[in-house]
Amino acid sequence: MRRLYVIGIGAGDPRQVTVQAIEAIGRVDTFFVIGKGEVKRELTEVRAALLAEYADPGHRVVEIADPPRERTVDSAGGYRDVVADWHRRRAELLGRAFDDTDGVGAILVWGDPSLYDSTLRMVERVLEAGTRFDYTVIPGVTSAQSLAAAHRIVLHEIGEPVHITTGRRLREEGVAAGESTLVMLDGECSFTQLTGADLHIWWGAYLGMPDETLIEGPLLAVRDSIVRRRDELRAAKGWIMDIYLLRRS
């Protein structure tokens, strides 16, 4: 393989796919799908619909199964080691798949590859391990942008910073004064552990998808309805993706 595209496809709404992404998809011979076992049915369908509409009819899809990931970790250092080991094993599988492929390859990435996605780190590892190819990154609309647009908000106060973090880090660090905090990858409703009466939350699930759900308000007033709604949605669909912004008023 001589060229690889890493293509951001937006965070759920197929109309978020950019013209640049569509042009790249049309040039690809082989699409690599990583970790299909963990990808939920709707997400797989979004990708399949994109390929049906924009890819060359002769394209191939190569699925690369995810190596199993150790889930029990007792510290932040342990967590990083586990993730690094998982990335290394994923990169080995990817390198072998690249070596076996001619022409132009692509990996489609949910949202944008720059935000909580390991694809670019894996691609760098494959290059370091000796497989030779050029690669190009095509940006996509992130779930952070989708959340801001759905709630019609700016992510930060005028001239102030925005902090992007995970549910796990929010539980450890809370929300700093003077900072807006955007939380992703939170399977545990970590906002319920915050007590500040001055906190406001803008929450969104399945953004850009038919089941998009939004709740916004003072944290202490709306947190129980978010937890309840989240449980109902997850029970009905079998999976959920949500993201939220917290800010002190």
Q: How far apart are CA 4 and CA 117, in angstroms?
A: 17
Nearer to ligand SAM, 156 or 242 (CB): 242
Q: How far apart are CA 76 and CA 112, in angstroms?
A: 25
In angstroms, what is the minimal distance from the CB of 139 to ligand SAM? 9
Q: How far apart are CA 76 and CA 80, in angstroms?
A: 6
Nearer to ligand SAM, 29 or 212 (CB): 212
Compute the 3-state secondary structure of the chain and give helix, strand, coil in percent, each to the nearest 5.
Answer: 40, 25, 35
In angstroms, what is the minimal distance from the CB of 49 to ligand SAM? 15
Nearer to ligand SAM, 106 or 184 (CB): 184
Residues 6+ away with beta carbon under 8 Å from 145:
11
- Give the residue closest to ligand SAM by C-beta: 111
Token representation of residue 219: 């944290």
CB 137 within 8 A of CB 6: yes
In angstroms, what is the minimal distance from the CB of 167 to ligand SAM? 8
Kindly tell me the sign of the dihedral angle through the C-alpha atoms of 111, 112, 114, 117: positive
In angstroms, what is the minimal distance from the CB of 9 to ligand SAM? 10
The binding site for ligand SAM (CB under 6 A) comprises: 11-12, 110-112, 115-117, 142-143, 184-185, 204-208, 241-243
Nearer to ligand SAM, 1 or 215 (CB): 215
Q: How far is CA 246 from CA 1, 61, 149, in A?
A: 44, 40, 16
In angstroms, what is the minimal distance from the CB of 94 to ligand SAM? 17
In angstroms, what is the minimal distance from the CB of 197 to ligand SAM? 25
Nearer to ligand SAM, 10 or 131 (CB): 10
Nearer to ligand SAM, 131 or 247 (CB): 247
Q: Report the candidate in 14, 45, 27, 34 with the shortest Cα–Cα distance to residue 126.
A: 34
